[in-house]
Amino acid sequence: MYSDSFPEVVNHGGVNFKEKLAELKGKGVRIHPLVWDIMYLYLADHLSVINLLCGFYIKRKMSISVVDGKKIRDYNRKASRIIYVVLHPDKIQDDELELLKIKDEASRLGVEIKDFLSHYVSNRLNAIGLIIDDSIDPIDPNPVSIDRARRVYDDSSQIISILEGVRKELQGIDRVQV
């Protein structure tokens, strides 16, 4: 079961993601626009749901209900699948039509960017999965405690910040507003 001493599964290697992004940018590393578009298309929705639900319960100092906990688990699994296939494009299934579009381009992603996504995004999604799965046990599902909700909220917020950084540094796209 989860406790305050839940193991730290995210190893950041002591390097701030902004420093790492700057380093990658300096080396001219880019993510192919097609891969970025597909990755971002899905992750933006999945992370929004996770972050909004956790934020809602934390602000009200309530445990996350089992129903919403399952929703977070499901969206986290979808997000994890997207990152997984970006890192391992050979695992894209023939019926994953949208993802098949990126199979060739994702195969060409360099080791450094794959390492970055694995280190800073995939590990955090794994952490969210561990925390939520432990509460939403298939046999005996429980609400997700506020402490755990905060942990998930922090991880999802960090992934959102990281994606913002990737957009800006490696895609050269700034936010624009009406």
Partner 1 sequence: MGGLDISVLTVDDEPGLAESIQMVLVSEGYSAFMEIDGHAAVNFCKANRPNIALIDVALGDKSIDGLEVLKKIKEFNSDTVCIMVTRITDKPTVERAKELGAFKYILKPLTDDDIIYIVNEAAEFVKLRRADNV
- Shortest Å distance, C-beta 84 to partner 1: 19
Among 55, 134, 141, 154, which residue interacts with partner 1 (rule: CB under 8 A)? 55
- Shortest Å distance, C-beta 59 to partner 1: 7
16 binds partner 1 (CB under 8 A): no
Q: Which is nearer to partner 1, 13 or 102 (CB)?
A: 102
| Separation between Cα atoms, residue 119 and residue 159, nearest integer Å | 11
61 binds partner 1 (CB under 8 A): no
34 binds partner 1 (CB under 8 A): no
81-86 long-range contacts, Cβ below 8 Å, gap at least 24? 82/38, 82/39, 82/42, 82/43, 82/46, 83/39, 83/43, 83/117, 83/118, 83/121, 83/122, 83/125, 84/122, 86/35, 86/39, 86/117
Q: Which is nearer to partner 1, 60 or 139 (CB)?
A: 60
- Shortest Å distance, C-beta 81 to partner 1: 15
- Other CB atoms closer than 10 Å to residue 174's CB: what's the count? 7
Enumerate residues 6+ apart whose C-beta is below 8 A from 90. Answer: 103, 107
17 binds partner 1 (CB under 8 A): no
157 binds partner 1 (CB under 8 A): yes
Return residues touching partner 1 (CB under 8 A): 40-41, 43-45, 47-49, 51-53, 55-56, 59-60, 71, 74-75, 157, 160, 163, 167, 173-178
